[in-house]
Amino acid sequence: MAAHPATSSAPSRSLSGARPRCAAPRSPSSLAVAAPPAGLRPCGSRALRVRAKVASGVQGASVVDDGVERPWKLSDARLVLEDGSVWKAKSFGASGTQVGEVVFNTSLTGYQEILTDPSYAGQFVLMTNPHIGNTGVNPDDEESNQCFLGGLIIRNLSICTSNWRCKETLEEYLIKRNIMGIYDVDTRAITRRLREDGSLIGVLSTDQSRTDDELLEMAKKWKIVGVDLISGVTCDAPYEWSDKTDSEWVFNKDQSSATFHVVAYDFGIKHNILRRLTSYGCKITVVPANWPASEVLKLKPDGVLFSNGPGDPAAVPYAVKTVQEIIGKVPVFGICMGHQLIGQALGGKTFKMKFGHHGGNHPVCDLRSGRVDISAQNHNYAVDPESLPEGVKVTHINLNDNSCAGLQYPKMKLMSLQYHPESSPGPHDSDTAFGEFIELMKSNR
């Protein structure tokens, strides 16, 4: 294959044995541009104060073999997929070599919430929205205390940030947290490949000493199915949570004035799930994933939450056993991984989806009312409704593929959702699910 000019994005190439499929040629890379000065910017008769900061990831110059310095950065990273395709890219964030499962996320905004969602442990997240980084990063949008994903894959890295809440650039953020990122890669072509072939294991590397074949071998040997990822993201000890949703973000004023004690199992719980429950009148005790059910029941909680989390629910039998020991004794609410664990605890089966659901724009239908919500989702596994015992009702389905998105079992006082009702990031259609959990606990008093 002929070499492409240094100013263009390199398409993928396939190692021997891989099905030939080339990414489309890309447009020339953006040249380094100075950020506009901070201050007042005219906007009609009004003035808008803009805080701008240059992102350094696209500013670096490169020197090639001919000794000439170019004013743009050249490709210095590779993504090698297990199907043999090699995608050249430009790096930002941390350097090194990392293995993970590549999944695509269709959210238009909220990359910081995605970066700090523990459910992405062991994965590389590819953003289908082509322009990422323009709002920078701020401390208020964290969903956990650290980043658990393996890396971030994007098309265009913004050359500056201009959001009033921004405290640092996306690249600065990734460097501090030792997370790899690549840009100037054909994310549309990779997304189409994942939709056709399913989620693929990949290797991100900035190490030029490693050959493509070596990286391919790493991808083929690495496994994520059957691996317990929850133990690496859960808390170490129980703690109390009391923070509510900040007033400027409260969109549902009709919330309970009663107080309910909820024990939340941390399988990789997001902060905004805890904030929404607290805003609905819950006092929350968070416990680790392996906390004994007997100790939880001694607290005499009004309800128990089984949270979201990463990986294969079949790889955590200890969590399934815990759910079995709790359901039927107190009202329970399962979210995402919690939903899948409830399905298994009831005797049902879970299965790995082709490429999963990741994004803030998935339509879900409530079969009880016919109401359709646009939901935020992040999972690679689903519950098989045909395997569930009699009496368990499927309450919600994903309208993209009719997969099970919610369960209810009145006899056992439980409800569950496959998606994220706190919707961070995403639309807030599903927030009423927290109110439904409140009513379930109220009716059990």
422 is catalytic: yes
Report, as an integer, the average pLDDT of 376-396. 97
271 is catalytic: no
> In the structure encoding, which two tokens stand for residue 115, read together?
């970066």
Q: Where are the beta strands (DSSP E) in 106-216?
A: 123-127, 131-132, 151-153, 156-157, 160-161, 180-183, 200-205
Give phi and psi for 438, each to the nearest 5: -60, -45
Question: Coil, strand or helix: which one is 104?
Answer: strand
Other CB atoms within 10 A of residue 233 CB: 23
Report, as an integer, the average pLDDT of 402-406. 98
Residue range(s) of every CATH 3.40.50.880 domain in the chain:
230-443
In which band, very low, low, confident or very high, does the pLDDT at 73 lie, cut at 50, 70 and 90? confident
Report the range of poorest mean pLDDT among 65-79, 255-269, 300-314, 381-395: 65-79
User: Which class in CATH covers the domain with range 50-221?
Assistant: alpha beta
How many Cα atoms within 13 Å fall on the side-chain side of residue 214?
10
The whole-number pLDDT of residue 427 equals 87
CA–CA separation, 396 vs 15, rounded Å?
43
420 is catalytic: yes
Structure confidence by residue, pLDDT tens digits, 111-131:
999 999 999 999 999 999 999
Architecture category of domain 230-443 in CATH: 3-Layer(aba) Sandwich (3.40)
In which band, very low, low, confident or very high, does the pLDDT at 19 lie, cut at 50, 70 and 90? very low
Report, as an integer, the average pLDDT of 410-439. 94
pTM: 0.85
Name the catalytic one among 336, 357, 358, 365.
Answer: 336
Residue range(s) of every CATH 3.50.30.20 domain in the chain:
50-221
Q: Specify the DSSP element, H or E, that contains 266.
A: strand 260-266
Report, as an integer, the average pLDDT of 256-277. 92
